[in-house]
Amino acid sequence: MRSLKALRRFYARYITASAEVVDERIVDAFANVKREHFVGAGPWHIPVIGGYIVTETDDPAVLYQDILVGLAPDRGLNNGEPSLHAKCLAAAAAQAGEVVVHVGAGTGYYTAILAQLVGQGGHVHGFEIEPDFAARAAENLARFANVTVHARSALGVRLPMAHVIYVSAGATHVPAAWLDALALGGRLVLPLTPNERLGCMLLVTRLSEAAFAARIFSTAAFIPCIGARDEQQSSAVAAALDAGSTDEVRSLRRGSEPDGSAWCIGADWWLSTAAPTE
Ligand SMILES: C[S@@+](CC[C@H](N)C(=O)[O-])C[C@H]1O[C@@H](n2cnc3c(N)ncnc32)[C@H](O)[C@@H]1O
């Protein structure tokens, strides 16, 4: 007999194994959070190359696959791919008691998973710029005492100091304000997505006041992060992705002139193939 609980657990195990994620806390978080509470009533629009297909059923069982789900298909806004998020959540490594800023909370599914990971002693601030999504997220997350939904952009606002900044919309650069908001040891997980081509997932870890380790850990396609897009930096990221191996990236630099180790040069930041320095 069909059991949604069992389907959810298998889905959690399947997407984490596909993403080579071994953190059992992430498996449990995916197994515990009910996707059907966040993606609206079915039947659902499922994005495929060139458009959407509609599910034949409104049985929530269909949601427990490694598929995106349309949240507002008319605007091309979707609930993201679970296995990609499993990878991103593993990179972010949110721990119990930590403070997380989630940029692009949508209707709250991955915000809820982050809330599970930080537990009651931690807090997740979900920022969502689309007013209708922010309202849905606030409603969907009302029973999570450790979540605050901010119905506004995560740019142009003073962010709380964060152990994790988890970005779910594509930027062409690394906003200085987000680096400033990272606590020592804090992690920024950001889709770096140029206009011209497939982008990548960047993990930046603050090692000290001025030293940042950096690593690219996946390819990525995301809808644009409003306020974090710039033509020139998009071209720089596209050229870097075209030219060089993403495995070579080791640090993010700011406040210094790019040297021969530069892998990608942004406006006030650059990625280096050399180890992090102060
Ligand atoms: C790809 S959707 C993902 C939503 C959600 N994370 C999910 O997977 O269900 C990206 C979201 O980022 C939001 N967004 C874009 N730019 C933003 C910004 N500057 N601040 C806050 N939210 C933003 C969009 O409105 C959209 O809802």
Among 166-170, 236-240, 242-246, which is the least confidently predicted range? 242-246
Give distance in angstroms: CA of 225 to centre of ligand 1. Answer: 7
pLDDT value for 233 = 98
Mean local confidence (pLDDT), 141-156: 98
- The CA distances from residue 233 to 191, 196, 238, 239, 256, in Å, are 14, 12, 8, 10, 17
Q: Which two tokens stand for residue 242?
A: 């075209």
Q: Output the CA 56–ligand 1 centroid distance in Å.
A: 27
Which tokens in the block code for residue 32? Answer: 């515990």
Q: Give the pLDDT score at 178.
A: 98
**What is the greatest pairwise CA distance in the chain?**
63
Q: How far apart are CA 112 and CA 233, in angstroms?
A: 32
How far, CA to CA in Å, does 267 sit from each of 92, 173, 229?
Answer: 25, 8, 12
Beta bridge partners of 71: none
Provide the β-strand partners of residue 205.
187, 213
Average pLDDT over the chain reads: 97
The answer on pLDDT for 79 being more than 90 is yes
E strand residue ranges, the chain: 45-48, 51-54, 69-72, 77-79, 99-103, 123-127, 147-150, 162-167, 182-192, 199-206, 212-220, 251-253, 262-265, 270-272
Token duo for residue 158: 């003073």
CB 100 within 8 A of CB 71: no
- pTM for the model: 0.98
Q: How much is the pLDDT for 32?
A: 98
Distance between CA 33 and CA 125 in Å, rounded? 18
Q: What percent of the chain has pLDDT over 70?
A: 100
**Residue 244: its pLDDT value, please?**
79
Residue 259: which pLDDT band, with cuts at 50, 70 and 90?
Answer: very high
79 CA: nearest ligand 1 atom: 9
The domain over range 72-272 is classified in CATH as 3.40.50.150: yes
Give the closest residue (by CA) to ligand 1 atom 23. 104
Domain ranges in the chain?
A: 72-272
Question: How is the chain split among helix, strand and coil, in percent rounded to 5?
Answer: 30, 25, 40
Q: Please count the CA atoms within 13 angstroms of the CA of 269 that sit on its side-chain side.
A: 20
DSSP 8-state code for residue 232: H
Half-sphere exposure of 260 (CA within 13 A, CB side): 0
Ligand 1 interacting residues, C-beta cut-off 6 A: 77-80, 103-107, 109-110, 127-130, 133, 153-155, 168-169, 222-223, 225-227
Q: For residue 209, which amino acid is it? A: E
Separation of CA 104 and ligand 1 centre (Å): 3
**For residues 261 and 271, is the Cβ–Cβ distance under 8 A?**
no
CA distances from 64 to 89, 229, 238 (A): 18, 33, 34
Compute, in angstroms, the gap from residue 103 CA to the centroid of ligand 1.
6
3-state secondary structure 129-145: CCHHHHHHHHHHCCCCC
Residue 67: CA atoms inside 13 Å, Cβ hemisphere, count? 20
The string of pLDDT tens digits covering residues 189-218 is 999 999 989 999 999 999 999 999 999 999
